[in-house]
Structure 1
Amino acid sequence: MKTKHTSSQPIGIFDSGIGGLTVAHALVTHLPKENIIYFGDTAHLPYGDKSTAAIQAYAIKIVNMLLQQECKLILIACHSASAAAYELVKEYIGSKALVMNVIDPVIHLLKEKYITKHVGLIGTRQTVNSHIYKKKIDDLNLGIRLSSSATNLLASAIEEFGNHRVIDVLLETYLAQPNLQNIDALLLACTHYPIIKERISQHYQKQNDGHIELIDSSDIVAQAVKKQLHKNNLLNENGTSAKHFYVSDYTESFANNAKLFFGEDIKLEHYPLWD
């Protein structure tokens, strides 16, 4: 039996840490009346160096929590978890909620705007080794050339230091890799990376004496969520925009970044799923 949803029900979002806040912020911008429930699995961050089986186990437990909160749509706001667990989560949830990931909206954008282009990709080892972007791009058969590179320490460094100049040392090493040269655009295939978007852009300006287009999934995904809610008559246009943030392990960096993203004090609730 299909579950009946209402527009006033919240959107559930989860990620391993602060990266998903980039998506949550974009959602609040594009969908200002929607109620948001965010779960940061800070006890297990980053997901990028975890096994597929581990990520799937985390995802199912988090999804159960979000279903208890009666979310109408659950967004996997993490490329690693989207690659490893989306199909499983979708099957597990069935009709209890709409389910979206952060990969398919980006593939749709590439299909529209990057035919025959050379696109670089940086992401976690889990995302890159899954080859999910390559498979989906190859299926398009539009002559898009993809060059992927695992930049595994970046997510952890961003969690620890935020948008700090210490990140530049990692970028100089990672972005100097031969397969990331002479590209038309760079896909930021980790929701942490938009936090350091300006530093990535500056690196390419210095190296190439020019501008490179950065593909930031946050706004792309937010627009896709809006479209999906509209399609299902679930857009909340009269809501109060209540925001609830849960973490599996309290960290100072998450609290500080949440405040920075939303320009207000954010109350974090410790939700110990694994205690």
Structure 2
Amino acid sequence: MHTSAPIGIFDSGIGGLTVAHAVTRLLPNENIIYFGDTAHLPYGDKSATAIQAYSIKICNVLLQQKCKVILIACNSASAAAYELVKEYVGSKAKVMNVIDPVVAFLGENYANKTIGLIGTKQTVNSNIYRKKIDFLEKGITLKSLATPLLAPMIEEGFFNHNISESIINEYLQNATLDDIEALILGCTHYPLIKKQINQYYNGKVTVLDTSEIVAKSLYDYLESSHLLNEMNAHIRHFYVSDYTQSFETSTKIFFGEQIRLQHYPLWE
């Protein structure tokens, strides 16, 4: 596998851009191929079977591009499809998800603490975080709350807005999240509303930006596997399964430049 081979990142929509942005900041020399499955967003209210089918289709696209790593930048897909994708891809590429790095980070930094988690219905109902955290045997208490309105709200551009503030506050006031010491943003959309979540807690709860934790895990893997791209030139391709104005607008916000979106229908 060549060091200049690209990193493939996929999500149902704009949420994975938070991960892609964190990756490009930490690994500026890496070539990035991003696939936003905008035709099927959000994944959070889809069945596990549907998410698995979408994920395999996208992996085929990324494997065609000779990616050295495929990063599932979506908690719902990480919960529902990671094991299947890893088996499907085999030795063709390293498959990573956005859950395992966060669980490892909690084990290293939050033993015997009470942690909150907000995420989609798919992520929360899968109990994937609870199972993995309990397996660590670090005395971590997890309090999980499904927040299904947040991802579609963000996809529609309602963040840093009085509408988003009302919805965020309504969720965070839920008694399920009482007495937590840190909060996991269990959806890659949520770093876009981290500022408003921080304002709600006013420094009393540590809000964990999972995109940065995931990017650091990716860096550590590439470094230990001698796969870091040392070349200065980098290429970034962005594919979408259905063109949306909000996705194009979001890419400009994240990368500070005009991004050319290439339409790639999954089922044609």
TM above 0.5, yes or no, is: yes
Asked if 1:144 is matched to 2:140, the reply is yes
Identity of counterpart residues, as a percentage?
63
Q: How does 1:139-178 map to 2 (within 5 A)?
A: 139-163=135-159, 164-178=161-175
The DSSP-based 3-state class of the residue aligned with 1:146 is strand
Counterpart in the other structure of 1:48 = 44
Larger CA deviation: 145-154 vs 224-233: 224-233
What displacement does 1:170 show?
1.0
* 1:163-221 alpha-carbon deviations (Å, 9 max, x no partner): 2221112112211110112110000000000000000111122xxxx431011111110
* 1:51-78 alpha-carbon deviations (Å, 9 max, x no partner): 0000000000000000001101000000
Separation in structure 2 between the aligned mates of residue 241 and residue 108 of structure 1, nearest angstrom = 30
Query: Given the two structures, how large is their TM-score scaled by the length of structure 2?
Result: 0.98
Q: How does 1:169-188 map to 2 (within 5 A)?
A: 169-188=166-185
Separation in structure 2 between the aligned mates of residue 214 and residue 110 of structure 1, nearest angstrom = 12
Given the alignment, which residue of 7, 14, 20 partners 1:18? Answer: 14
Separation in structure 1 between the aligned mates of residue 4 and residue 232 of structure 2, nearest angstrom = 7
What displacement does 1:26 show?
0.4
8 Å Cα contact 1:162-1:195 kept in structure 2: no
Larger CA deviation: 171-180 vs 128-137: 171-180
Q: How does 1:186-205 map to 2 (within 5 A)?
A: 186-205=183-202
Name structure 2 gaps, 5 residues minimum. none
Residues 94 and 239 from structure 1, CA distance in 2 versus in 1: closer, same or farther, beyond 3 angstroms?
farther
Larger CA deviation: 189-198 vs 158-167: 158-167
Counterpart in the other structure of 2:243 = 250
Separation in structure 1 between the aligned mates of residue 170 and residue 196 of structure 2, nearest angstrom = 13
Equivalenced residue count is: 267
Separation in structure 2 between the aligned mates of residue 239 and residue 273 of structure 1, nearest angstrom = 32
8 Å Cα contact 2:181-2:204 kept in structure 1: no
* 1:68-124 alpha-carbon deviations (Å, 9 max, x no partner): 011010000000000000000000000000110000000110010000000000000
Given the alignment, which residue of 108, 126, 129 partners 2:125? Answer: 129
Query: Given the two structures, how large is their TM-score scaled by the length of structure 1?
Result: 0.96
Q: Over the residues paired in the alignment, what is the CA RMSD in angstroms?
A: 0.8
Separation in structure 2 between the aligned mates of residue 272 and residue 181 of structure 1, nearest angstrom = 43
What displacement does 1:239 show?
4.0
Separation in structure 2 between the aligned mates of residue 142 and residue 235 of structure 1, nearest angstrom = 32
Separation in structure 1 between the aligned mates of residue 224 and residue 198 of structure 2, nearest angstrom = 35
8 Å Cα contact 1:42-1:249 kept in structure 2: yes
* 1:21-47 alpha-carbon deviations (Å, 9 max, x no partner): 000000000000000000000000000
